[in-house]
Structure 1
Amino acid sequence: MRTAPGFDAPPPGLTRMRTVATGLLVAMAGLFFLSRQLVPFHPAWSFVRAFAEAGMVGGMADWFAVTALFRHPLGLPIPHTAIVPKNKDRIGDQLAQFLRENFLVTPVIARRMRRLDVAGAVARWLTDPPEAAGGRFRAGASKLVAQMLEALDPQRLGGMVKAAVAHRLAETEVAPVAGQLLKAAMAENRHKPLLDAAIRWAGKALTDNDHLIRQIVHDKAGSILRWTGLDETISNKLIDGLGGLLEEMATNPEHPLRIRAENTLDILAWDLRFDPEMGAKVERLKTELVANPAMQRWLDGLWEQARSGLLAVARDPERAMRGRLGELLRQLGETLSTDRRLATTINRFVRRAAVGLAADYGDGIVRLVSETVRGWDTPTITRRLENAVGKDLQYIRVNGTLVGGLVGLVIHTVDVVLG
């Protein structure tokens, strides 16, 4: 059995009220014995005795009732006492069922969430956070994040992150995604800047490596060509021709080679999406890339950079909020404030998520509550409940003593008048 978390010492208010209730009961008993001795000296003391006697009976009855909720009075196994300890499991089941029937019901949650403007609240907090609340939130959250990041084993956590990324990459079919991206880019002509960049890179590479071309032509040429110097002429013609071709491709969007390159890209996009053989080649390449030690080192370095960045933000959240991150968050808040379609979409998503969680995990939450209460040991749950409601129960004892005394006084008065 597990012990319920929390501090089980009775709160000061409960101790004080218990003392008051018990003291009042003792006072009634003392007043009863005193008035009983003084009745022969004056008939008025009979009224005091009736008040004290009834108050003592009422106080004792309420003490018994209050005590019987949590334990056996005076340790005697009287039937129908120690109600809470005997029915702990049933109380847990009833509490869980109450939550399920009155709170974790999808219509109730949907109706409640429909009245909440989550996007608006987030927008107001991002654009103009309350200084005190925002500061406390950032300080508390950042401290918690920093402690968690520092407490966790960096190598183990990094290994988990790396394994998760590698697993996700291994499960993802790259070829169809790449083909779809390439098709979308070509439909919006976003591939043309890349093609222009490739042509410029080829021109720069040609200029930077013309000596290699000359050397290759010189080595491949025969002795006669070298003796006559025609190898140099051939090299110049070759370099000039390639350079002119690249310049024409760069300046003429309708150049045949550019069109052929675009057709090749279009065929590649189709093959990536629909050709099984191309998909298999890409998957093999992806597998080799993920298993490559260089890729593993890159993932390690990527996680370390992310962890260092998170720690820097967590240790100094105010600086982060004043920087680029803070500006992005404020822009997000302004967007949520002005774009009602986006706000409506977010609110709808939050509402559906809450309803979905209730529908999918409501029974699990009910079982969690029930099993948690069942897992608490009986003395602990008794102390916890008594500490929670015991102060009000002590007021019942006080009221029972005083009301009982007043009822006794009225009965004695009626008896005297009618007698």
Structure 2
Amino acid sequence: MRLVATGLLILMAAIFIGARLLEPADPALAPALGFVRAFAEAAMVGGLADWFAVTALFRHPLGLPIPHTAIIPRNKDRIGDTLARFLRTHFLIPAVVARRMRRVDVAGAAVRFLTLPTLGDGRVRDGATRLAADLLEALDPASLGGMAREAIDTRLRRLDAAPLLGQALGAALAKDRHLPLIDGLLRWTSRALEANEHVIRQMVHERAGSILRWTGLDETLADKLIDGLLRLIDDVAADPGHPLRMRIDQGLADLAHDLEHDPAMGRRVARLRDELLDNPAMRAWIDGLWEQARAALLRAARDPGAAASGRLGAVLSQLGTALTADPRLQRALNRFARRTATGFAARYGDPLVRLVSDTIRSWDSQTVTRRVEDAVGRDLQYIRINGTLVGGLVGLALHGLSVWL
């Protein structure tokens, strides 16, 4: 565009010279050539004036230190500060961001991304997964594993497990979900008793007196004891209203209540939790859990197509379908995005504008000039072209007016 604008200026100069030379040589064409000369002369003036104005923005015209030229290089710091204030005042304020975010359908974009067969644009997916893989491989596995273990350990130690266990047990009791467990425990007790009859017989034999052993009554006593225990277990298993089963239910209900409301029980559960977390086997299991998760993430990142078409892809697709069918969830997602963007503007608006200002201040004058000229230079060359043509038309009109008068 600079070549076009300069070429047009040279063309006007050539036309002016040609008309000036031909005008006295051919009196018959002199009136017409006068209009041509006036157009070309005024076009040169307009083109040169606009060339000076455009050039003065970025540098000294012809290298001459003319006052009020090279405006951008001389004022780059002020331009950076003004641009930063403009961004902060008109863009990075919560009210503007919130108003803009009301027109942004984040939920709709998420639905379109999640419900596509390929989970969105392949370049976005591949780029994101490649970045995730590079980050995972670049970080030290030992340090990262230690950080993950420490984070998991901290969260678990902060967990007040007793009320959660009490609520879970209370919910199970309310819906009789504990009954299969009790029935299974009774069956296991019956099998264990039958498998260990010899232990009971040996215990009765050792603790019976010599008269009982001599008369063989210890064997009879052991048989009665084993039969009574087996019959008791069978009765409890067969009768939902058995008193012993009621006592078990009451004991579980008391345990659920203590877990939720008894501070002493809460402290005992906390001690048990800490002892479990301090166990080397548990710590090794947490380490292994992190390594398995890291390996799975790396496999998914290295093969995003397989991840998208596998279980993860199915889960994401189901999420997109659920989001499509739930307008309330869409509104909640959009509201969350709007609040997040507004909070980001409120919290980080000032650091962002300082970053803009400091970055422009750190650039040298040539860098600022080059980048601004690359951004708007093409349009500025149109100003030179328009100035040349408009100047020529003004000169033509003035010449016509002078001839008419």
TM-score, normalization by structure 1: 0.80
How far off is 1:91 after superposition? Answer: 1.1
Change (3 A) 1:35 1:263: same
1:76 matched residue in structure 2 = 65
In structure 2, what is the Cα distance between the partners aligned to 1:413 and 1:191?
106
| Structure 1 residues 222-253: Cα deviation after superposition (integer angstroms, max 9, x where no partner) | 66666665555555444444333333333322
Q: Find the partner of 1:245 among 218, 232, 256.
A: 232
**Which 10-residue stretch deviates more, 297-306 or 179-188?**
179-188
In structure 2, what is the Cα distance between the partners aligned to 1:198 and 1:228?
37
Q: Find the partner of 2:38 among 26, 50, 60.
A: 50
Gaps of 5+ in 1: 1-16
1:175 matched residue in structure 2 = 162
1:98 matched residue in structure 2 = 90
How far off is 1:362 after superposition? Answer: 1.9
In structure 2, what is the Cα distance between the partners aligned to 1:223 and 1:66?
124
**Which 10-residue stretch deviates more, 244-253 or 305-314?**
244-253
8 Å CA contact retained: 1:55, 1:401: yes
2:301 matched residue in structure 1 = 314
8 Å CA contact retained: 1:35, 1:45: yes
Task: State the superposition RMSD in angstroms.
Answer: 3.2
Q: Is residue 19 of structure 1 aligned with residue 27 of structure 2?
A: no
Q: Is residue 371 of structure 1 aligned with residue 359 of structure 2?
A: no
How far off is 1:302 after superposition? Answer: 0.9
Report 1:26-41 matches (<5 A).
26-41=10-25
In structure 2, what is the Cα distance between the partners aligned to 1:372 and 1:100?
13
Code of the aligned partner of 1:112: R
How far off is 1:324 after superposition? Answer: 3.4
How far off is 1:173 after superposition? Answer: 1.6
In structure 1, what is the Cα distance between the partners aligned to 2:214 and 2:305?
75
Gaps of 5+ in 2: none
Report 1:333-348 matches (<5 A).
333-338=320-325, 343-348=326-331
Change (3 A) 1:257 1:323: farther
Code of the aligned partner of 2:7: G
8 Å CA contact retained: 2:83, 2:357: no
Q: Is residue 355 of structure 1 aligned with residue 338 of structure 2?
A: yes
8 Å CA contact retained: 1:21, 1:395: yes
| Structure 1 residues 59-84: Cα deviation after superposition (integer angstroms, max 9, x where no partner) | 22222333344445436362375246
Change (3 A) 1:355 1:334: closer
Q: Percent identity?
A: 51
8 Å CA contact retained: 1:104, 1:362: no
8 Å CA contact retained: 2:163, 2:260: yes
Higher alpha-carbon Rg: 2
SS at match of 1:145: helix
**Which 10-residue stretch deviates more, 386-395 or 315-324?**
315-324
In structure 1, what is the Cα distance between the partners aligned to 2:198 and 2:373?
92
Change (3 A) 1:204 1:49: farther
8 Å CA contact retained: 1:28, 1:56: yes
2:79 matched residue in structure 1 = 87
1:11 matched residue in structure 2 = none
